[in-house]
Amino acid sequence: MKNKIKKQIIWIPRILIILYALFLSIFALDTQFGLGFFMHLIPSFILLAVLIFTWKKQKLAGIIFAIFGVATIIFYNTYLGILNFSMISLPPILAGILFYFLKNPKH
């Protein structure tokens, strides 16, 4: 039973990043379809590419996503409002922490 729960827990940060990329993709809908639409999707594509690249390298994924979360705090000034912080900066930081500290039961 515990092994099954451990296998399910390692999916939490991956699902969180996928949902976060989908959330960021919503902001692309405010542009007209075309070049502007795809330019607004670039951050989501980068997040998903990093997730795929670091799928088996949890420690590296933890470091990258935590750095990305801290970068959003600095560049987007999300420290000015708790709502901005919780929607933009907290998900990648939380996923980074989970990636870094959760152990894969296969290893």
**Residue 87 is assigned to a structural domain of this protein:** yes
Q: Rounded CA gap, 37 and 96, in Å? A: 28
- pTM of structure: 0.89
pLDDT of residue 95: 97
Q: Cα dihedral angle (17, 27, 38, 77), rounded to 10 degrees? A: -70
Residue found by looking up tokens 């515990």 in the block: 2
Domain that holds residue 12: 2-101
**Residue 106 is assigned to a structural domain of this protein:** no
Q: How many domains does the chain have?
A: 1
107 pLDDT band (50/70/90 cuts)?
A: low
pLDDT digits over 38-53, tens only?
A: 999 999 999 999 999 9
**Residue 107 is assigned to a structural domain of this protein:** no
**Residue 61 is assigned to a structural domain of this protein:** yes
pLDDT digits over 45-102, tens only?
A: 999 999 999 999 999 999 999 999 999 999 999 999 999 999 999 999 999 999 999 8
**Residue 52 is assigned to a structural domain of this protein:** yes
